[in-house]
C-alpha cells in the first residue's frame, strides 16, 4: 500500500494525476525525464480550490466576522508555512519525484516545495473526483485541528462535517460506537458517523472523541457525501 494514499485517504481513478502531483519541476529537467509533466499546473489549480474552500468554510463558520478578519484567518490557513506543515505530516517530501541536485540541496524538506506539492495534490484530487473530495481533503487536512490565529478556535473534522451538512440543509451528523477493544487501561474505540441516518465513515482512536474525529475526517473525503443528506419533504 502506498503510504501517501494511506495518509490522504483518497483513491485516484486516474493515477496519472497522482503521478503528476508528485513530480517536481527539477525531475522533468533531468536527462531522460523530459516527457514527464511537472506538478506546476496542478499547483495553480489547487491554489484556487484551496482558497475557495477555506473562504467558504470561514464565511459559514463565522457570520459575525468582518472582511478583514476573514482575510487574515484565511491567510493563516493557506500560507506557505501552514501548507508545508500539512505536506510534511502527509509525508509528501519523500513521495516526490525530484531531481538529484534539488534533492541534495534539501528540496524534500523545503517549505515552498512542500506547500506547492499540497496545492498540486488538491488540484489532482479536484480533477480526479470533483469538488466534494477536494473539499473533504481540505477540511480534513488543512482546516482541521489548526488553531485560527485571530480567533483561537479549532475547526476540527467534526465541526467541519457538521457545518458542511447543515449548510446544505441536512440535520447534524450523529455518531455510533461500534466497539472497543484492547486492554482496559488503553482501549481503542471504533465509531461510525451517520449522515441522514446512513453510514458515512468509520474511525478509530484511543478515545471516543478521537474516533469520532477520525470518522468525520473519513466522511469528508467521500465524493458522494452530499447525496446522503435527506431531501426535505415538499
List the domain boundaries for the chain.
1-155, 156-234
Predicted pLDDT of residue 37: 87
End-to-end Cα distance, the chain: 47
CA dist 108 and 199 (Å) reads 38
Predicted pLDDT of residue 151: 41
- The residue whose grid cell reads 484511543 is 206
Closest CA relative to residue 215, chosen from 197, 198, 199: 199
Which of the residues 47, 102, 128, 192 is marked catalytic? 47
232 is catalytic: no
Q: What are the φ and ψ backbone dihedral angles of 178, each rounded to 5 degrees?
A: -85, -45
Cell representation of residue 222: 467521500
pTM over 0.85: no
Closest CA relative to residue 92, chosen from 72, 68, 75, 109: 109
Are the beta carbons of 194 and 209 closer than 8 angstroms?
no
User: Residue 83 contacts by C-beta under 8 Å, 6 or more apart in sequence?
Assistant: 50, 114, 115, 118, 119, 142
Beta partners for residue 202, in sequence order = 192
Predicted pLDDT of residue 60: 85
Number of neighbouring beta carbons within 10 Å of residue 78: 20
Per-residue pLDDT of the chain (234 residues; tens, 9 = 90+): 578 888 888 889 999 999 999 999 888 877 566 667 899 999 999 999 999 999 998 888 888 888 888 888 888 889 888 899 899 989 999 999 988 888 899 989 999 999 999 999 999 999 999 999 999 999 888 887 454 333 444 456 788 788 788 888 899 999 999 999 888 877 889 999 999 999 999 988 888 988 898 898 888 877 788 889 887 655
Fold of 156-234: Double Stranded RNA Binding Domain (3.30.160)
DSSP 182: S
Pairing of strands 174-181, 188-195: antiparallel
Predicted pLDDT of residue 155: 54
132 is catalytic: no
Domain 1-155: give its CATH architecture. Orthogonal Bundle (1.10)
Which of the residues 43, 102, 116, 119 is marked catalytic? 119
DSSP 228: G
Q: What angle do CA 130, 134, 138 make, to 5 degrees?
A: 165
Amino acid at each position: 500500500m502506498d503510504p501517501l494514499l494511506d495518509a490522504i485517504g483518497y483513491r485516484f481513478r486516474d493515477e496519472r494525476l497522482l503521478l503528476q502531483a508528485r513530480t517536481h519541476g527539477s525531475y522533468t529537467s533531468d536527462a531522460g525525464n523530459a516527457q514527464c509533466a511537472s506538478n506546476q499546473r496542478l499547483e495553480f489549480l489547487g491554489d484556487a480550490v484551496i482558497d475557495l474552500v477555506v473562504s467558504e468554510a470561514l464565511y459559514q463558520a463565522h457570520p459575525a466576522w468582518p472582511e478583514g478578519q476573514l482575510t487574515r484567518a484565511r491567510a493563516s490557513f493557506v500560507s506557505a508555512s501552514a501548507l508545508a506543515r500539512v505536506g510534511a505530516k502527509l509525508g509528501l517530501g519523500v513521495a516526490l519525484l525530484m531531481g538529484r541536485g534539488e534533492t541534495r540541496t534539501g528540496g524534500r524538506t523545503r517549505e515552498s516545495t512542500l506547500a506547492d506539492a499540497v496545492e498540486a495534490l488538491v488540484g489532482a484530487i479536484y480533477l480526479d473526483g470533483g469538488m466534494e473530495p477536494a473539499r473533504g481533503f481540505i477540511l480534513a487536512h488543512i482546516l482541521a485541528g489548526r488553531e485560527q490565529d485571530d480567533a483561537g478556535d479549532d475547526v476540527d473534522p467534526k465541526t467541519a462535517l457538521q457545518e458542511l451538512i447543515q449548510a446544505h440543509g441536512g440535520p447534524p451528523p450523529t455518531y455510533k460506537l461500534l466497539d472497543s477493544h484492547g486492554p482496559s487501561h488503553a482501549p481503542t474505540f471504533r465509531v461510525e458517523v451517520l449522515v441522514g441516518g446512513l453510514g458515512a465513515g468509520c474511525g478509530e482512536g484511543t478515545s471516543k472523541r478521537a474516533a469520532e474525529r477520525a470518522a468525520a475526517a473519513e466522511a469528508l473525503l467521500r465524493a458522494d457525501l452530499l447525496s446522503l443528506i435527506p431531501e426535505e419533504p415538499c
